């Protein structure tokens, strides 16, 4: 990114490589004696003035004289902008000629000079006419004329002259484009960081820059205004930020635009700012008190000055950018704002407007009618809490602060406090939410009703959980269970459901599913209040129960429950589903365990956000880990690595070491599958790093990581390391305490590694155990892993026919489950048994199929295994004839090709397409290590 010092502005110029190149080129031409015209045009605040300052600096660096002048609004003196430029030039070189003698002939006093005229859309008519003549004429002397302007406000004749010059090549046109997020991030580096940036990761700061860039529409001036205002994404566009004084200090150029307006236009702008964009002229007339005719005249002036534009709203207008309206609002003055917002509130109430519209005005009336304002703000917060939680929390804070201290709960103070805590959690302000929730619980028991006490505990658990403080959350949740009426009331009240959900969530996320299962089962079987518990809450309860059943290994019941929950979740609209990411994460996890991989990836990825700094970080971590695993199993190896890296970075930022290990384990196995033996050492190193980072114990995080680490070692060719990882991870000779749905896989993996180490008896015992557990589960993929292990035993005993049959059944299961890489790996592994049982042609056919899949999935490890297996199977065949490596169809094609038939003729003879024949030939060349038909014919001739 180009960065040029700008001493006049005191800031860096960023993201303007193209513009700087054009300016430099014109200066180089001027140094060679050739003058020209440069036009810098664009939206207000886009950086035109910054570019003109940079041009002056660049000229000074080259020793080229430069003068700069601004056209001013309302200055009608003839040729004033040229007079100012000439005075600047005369002061520099001591010339004594009066302006009237040479002013309208810049070539006489600007030779070899850079003349920069800014804001020429404000020029007086005489200056505009002179500019048109200069643009349309060939520059008679070597000077550089640079014009900066806003096209929408520029005189038509000057715009036409510049357009003609740009087409003819006599005018260099520079139109600064909006900045991209990287340039905005560079601007942020030069200014005050957001107040909470110390807690942000680099990824979160980049995300902040992306969102700020979108809010400012890439406009540098608006970026600076929002940063000065301490912009908060959750409050935009209702408020520019929390620092009004900072906004006004940065907005001096914009305030000057308002100051230049007529009194009526200035009042109308203030009324429009009170109303909010977009606005209707009739509302502005009512709030300003100017009447419709005067208001329309004033709005016409605001449009001419480009402060107000037509909105995408029938008959409506809006400020050219929301921050312009915020500056106008703060400039309006306190008394005008109070009267204006009261009138606006009365107007909206009179026509039955939405509560949210009324609340926006009520927040400014707390000092004049606190009771009305507080009621309106509380109602508005309830309406927008799901969509705009940060604004809801802000309004609830204002409403609470307006209530007298010590007032009885008849005012609903506790309800407002609870609602505020929920809004703070949803907005990501978790520390404040936690503090408020603990304060609420710390009050005298009599201060809270039974219902409110349950709600306060649920909110407190939610805050602790989303902060990743699972131990604290579990302790509060378990203690709160004593407050529940037992047995659970029928129907189930909303506050009871809320506490049970939080209790279930914290235990599920902590891996202690068993501690929540009984209560969840009871809650699911208890009907809910028709007007209390929401459909979303009922769905969460069902999903939590289904996940606990899955972890317990009751898979028949779990499968039916998960299918039912999937139907419920799929019926939710996207906005509602996106507001309950816990439901998506838990459902996707259950589907992953039950081998419903496509559904799992769909639910885990639904509405997934790239923002890793929000309140849903713990849930996001689970979703990323689940997606990484689902993508690996379904053969999307690049996507798996990407999600695993995101999960690892997020887990590190949260300090969750077991999740770091699990993400690294997923990445290690994916790395081996995708990059093959060359990267085995790198994968094993990653495995060792993950192993050292894994804390002791048997949490499901640790157990899941252990299984994947063992698989990575086995794929990398380290059978002994695989056994060591599985058996010694807890200092014992037992498998880690994994969940039932993954035990057959780990037992089969351990059995295969044990067999490779030569312990046939122990391998037999492990395989039998894997088969028994797989039969009990009834999961096809787990059963396939057990079949593969049994097939390996058969091969070692020379029972190749039995091995081939088991491998075929396992491969079919992997293919049906949508696991292409595992399917291809099984085909390769089965090749020796198939070769012995059914001959080389069928074995080579399986290798061909595996290779095709591996190429499509970029699974280099499988391709390498295919190559080695072909070499092993061809040892005996090569002693007889090279064509022993080929299938029957491939030998037919070789016969015809060596007989001289062309591809199309072969295709017609064998009833194939020419493309299929070419594919067969390519495979034949690879198998026989030849590169052409000529080489193929030579090989056949030499070998007979």
Please answer whether residues 275 and 283 qualify as being in contact, where contact means their C-beta atoms are separated by less than 8 angstroms: yes
Residues 709, 712, 716, 719, Cα dihedral to 10°: 60
H or E segment at 890?
helix 888-898
List the one residue out of 260, 349, 339 whose CA is nearest residue 307.
Answer: 260
Question: What is residue 247's predicted lDDT score, i.e. its pLDDT?
Answer: 93
pLDDT digits (tens, 9 = 90+) for 51-104: 999 999 999 999 999 989 988 877 777 888 888 888 887 776 665 666 666 667
Query: DSSP letters of 191-217?
Result: SPPPTTGGG--HHHHHHHHHHHHHHHT
Quote the CA–CA distance of 44 and 563 in Å, as a whole number.
56
Quote the CA–CA distance of 398 and 593 in Å, as a whole number.
47
pLDDT digits (tens, 9 = 90+) for 284-341: 999 999 999 999 999 999 999 999 998 866 668 999 999 999 999 999 988 999 999 9
pLDDT bin (cut points 50, 70, 90) of residue 446 is low
Question: What is residue 506's predicted lDDT score, i.e. its pLDDT?
Answer: 87
Mean pLDDT of the chain: 84
Three-class DSSP category at 333: coil
Q: Which two tokens stand for residue 494?
A: 């909303």
Q: Is the pLDDT higher at 728 or at 2?
A: 728
Residues 121, 168, 21, 3, Cα dihedral to 10°: 20
Question: What is residue 197's predicted lDDT score, i.e. its pLDDT?
Answer: 45
Point out the least confidently predicted range of 361-365, 776-780, 936-940: 936-940
Peptide bond into 487 cis (omega under 30): yes
Query: Alpha carbon 475 to chain centroid distance?
Result: 33
Quote the CA–CA distance of 481 and 474 in Å, as a whole number.
11
Q: Which two tokens stand for residue 433?
A: 């939410």
Peptide bond into 94 cis (omega under 30): no
pLDDT bin (cut points 50, 70, 90) of residue 613 is low
Three-class DSSP category at 526: coil
Point out the least confidently predicted range of 453-467, 713-727, 786-800: 713-727
pLDDT bin (cut points 50, 70, 90) of residue 9 is very low
Q: Which two tokens stand for residue 890?
A: 């491939």
DSSP-assigned beta bridge partners for residue 68: 116
175-211 CB burial, b ≥16 within 10 A, e <16: ebebbebebbbbbbeeeeebeeeeebeebbbbbbbbb
Question: What is residue 10's predicted lDDT score, i.e. its pLDDT?
Answer: 46
Mean pLDDT of the 643-647 span: 91
List the one residue out of 879, 802, 379 whose CA is nearest residue 371.
Answer: 379
Question: What is residue 745's predicted lDDT score, i.e. its pLDDT?
Answer: 93
H or E segment at 228?
helix 220-228
Provide the 10 A C-beta neighbour count for residue 682: 14
Question: What is residue 560's predicted lDDT score, i.e. its pLDDT?
Answer: 86
Name the pTM for this structure: 0.68
Only one residue has tokens 């309004």, namely 395
Quote the CA–CA distance of 219 and 46 in Å, as a whole number.
5
pLDDT bin (cut points 50, 70, 90) of residue 484 is confident
């Amino acid at each position: 990114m180009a960065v040029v010092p700008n001493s006049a502005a005191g800031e860096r110029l960023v993201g303007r490589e193209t513009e700087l190149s054009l300016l430099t080129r014109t200066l180089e031409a001027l140094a060679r004696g050739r003058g020209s015209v440069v036009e810098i045009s664009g939206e207000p605040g886009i950086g035109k003035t910054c570019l003109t300052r940079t041009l002056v600096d660049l000229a000074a660096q080259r020793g080229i004289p430069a003068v700069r002048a601004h056209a001013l609004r309302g200055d009608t003196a003839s040729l004033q902008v040229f007079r100012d430029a000439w005075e600047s030039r005369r002061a520099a070189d001591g010339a004594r000629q009066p302006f009237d003698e040479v002013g309208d002939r810049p070539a006489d006093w600007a030779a070899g000079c850079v003349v920069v005229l800014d804001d020429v859309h404000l020029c007086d008519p005489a200056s505009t006419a002179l500019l048109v003549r200069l643009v349309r004429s060939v520059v008679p002397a070597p000077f550089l004329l640079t014009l900066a302007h806003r096209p929408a406000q520029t005189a038509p004749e000057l715009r036409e002259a510049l357009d003609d010059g740009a087409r003819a090549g006599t005018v260099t046109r520079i139109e600064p484009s909006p900045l991209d997020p990287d340039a905005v991030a560079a601007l942020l580096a030069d200014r005050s960081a957001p107040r909470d940036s110390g807690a942000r990761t680099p990824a979160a700061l980049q995300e902040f820059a992306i969102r700020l860039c979108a809010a400012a529409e890439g406009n540098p001036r608006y970026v600076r205004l929002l940063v000065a205002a301490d912009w908060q994404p959750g409050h935009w566009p209702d408020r520019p930020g929390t620092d009004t004084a900072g906004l006004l200090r940065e907005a001096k150029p914009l305030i000057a635009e308002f100051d230049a307006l007529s009194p009526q236009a200035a009042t109308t702008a203030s009324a429009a700012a009170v109303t909010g964009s977009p606005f209707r002229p009739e509302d502005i007339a009512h709030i300003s008190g100017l009447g419709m005719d005067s208001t329309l005249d004033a709005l016409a002036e605001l449009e001419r000055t480009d402060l107000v534009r037509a909105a995408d709203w029938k008959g409506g207008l809006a400020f050219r950018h929301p921050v312009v309206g915020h500056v106008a609002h703060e400039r309006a003055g306190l008394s005008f704002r109070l009267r204006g917002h009261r009138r606006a509130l009365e107007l909206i109430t009179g026509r039955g407007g939405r509560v949210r519209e009324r609340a926006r005005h009520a927040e400014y009336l707390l000092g004049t009618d606190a009771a009305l304002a507080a009621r309106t703000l509380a109602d508005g917060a309830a309406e927008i809490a799901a969509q705009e939680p940060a604004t809801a929390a802000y309004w609830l804070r204002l409403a609470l602060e307006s209530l007298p201290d010590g007032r009885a709960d008849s005012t609903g103070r506790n309800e407002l406090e609870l609602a505020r805590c929920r809004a703070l959690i949803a907005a990501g302000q978790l520390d404040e939410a936690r503090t408020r929730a603990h304060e609420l619980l710390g009050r005298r028991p009599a201060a809270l009703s039974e219902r409110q006490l349950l709600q306060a505990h649920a909110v407190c658990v939610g805050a602790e959980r989303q902060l990743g403080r699972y131990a604290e959350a579990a302790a509060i949740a378990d203690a709160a269970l004593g407050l529940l009426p037992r047995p659970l009331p029928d129907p189930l009240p909303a506050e009871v459901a809320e506490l049970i959900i939080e209790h279930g969530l914290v235990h599920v996320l902590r891996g202690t599913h068993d501690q929540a299962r009984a209560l969840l089962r009871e809650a699911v079987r208890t009907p809910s209040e028709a007007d209390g518990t929401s459909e979303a809450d009922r769905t969460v309860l069902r999903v939590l129960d289904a996940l606990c059943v899955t972890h317990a290994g009751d898979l028949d019941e779990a499968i039916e429950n998960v299918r039912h929950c999937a139907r419920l979740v799929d019926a939710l609209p996207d906005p509602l589903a996106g507001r309950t990411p816990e439901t998506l994460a838990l459902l996707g996890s259950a589907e992953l365990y039950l081998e419903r991989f496509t559904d799992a990836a769909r639910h885990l990825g639904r509405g997934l956000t790239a923002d890793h700094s929000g309140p849903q970080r713990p849930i996001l971590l689970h979703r990323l880990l689940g997606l990484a695993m689902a993508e690996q199993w379904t053969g999307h190896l690049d996507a798996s690595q990407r999600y695993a890296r995101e999960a690892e970075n997020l887990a590190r930022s949260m300090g969750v070491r077991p999740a770091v290990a699990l993400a690294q384990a997923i990445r290690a196995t994916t790395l081996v599958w995708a990059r093959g033996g060359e990267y085995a050492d790198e994968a094993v190193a990653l495995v060792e790093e993950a192993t050292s980072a894994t804390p002791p114990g048997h949490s499901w995080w640790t157990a899941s990581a252990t299984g994947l680490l063992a698989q990575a070692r086995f794929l990398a060719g380290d059978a002994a390391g695989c056994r060591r990882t599985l058996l010694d991870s807890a200092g014992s000779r037992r498998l880690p305490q994994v969940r039932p749905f993954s035990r057959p896989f780990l037992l089969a993996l351990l059995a295969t590694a044990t067999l490779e180490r030569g312990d046939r008896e122990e391998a037999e015992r492990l395989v039998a155990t894997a088969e028994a557990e797989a039969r009990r589960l009834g999961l096809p993929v787990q059963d396939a892993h057990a079949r593969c292990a049994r097939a390996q035993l058969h091969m070692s005993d020379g029972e190749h026919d039995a091995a081939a049959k088991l491998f075929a059944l396992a491969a079919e299961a992997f293919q049906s489950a949508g696991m292409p890489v595992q399917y291809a790996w099984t085909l390769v592994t089965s090749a020796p048994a198939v070769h012995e049982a059914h001959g080389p042609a069928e074995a080579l056919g399986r290798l061909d199929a595996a290779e095709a899949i591996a190429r499509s999935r970029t699974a280099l490890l499988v391709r390498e295994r295919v190559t080695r297996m072909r070499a092993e199977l061809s040892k005996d065949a090569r002693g007889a004839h090279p064509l022993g490596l080929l299938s029957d169809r491939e030998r037919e094609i070789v016969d015809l090709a060596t007989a001289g038939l062309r591809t199309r003729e072969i295709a017609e003879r064998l009833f194939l397409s020419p493309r299929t024949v070419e594919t067969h030939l390519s495979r034949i060349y690879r198998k026989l290590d030849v590169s052409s038909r000529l080489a193929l014919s030579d090989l056949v001739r030499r070998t007979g």
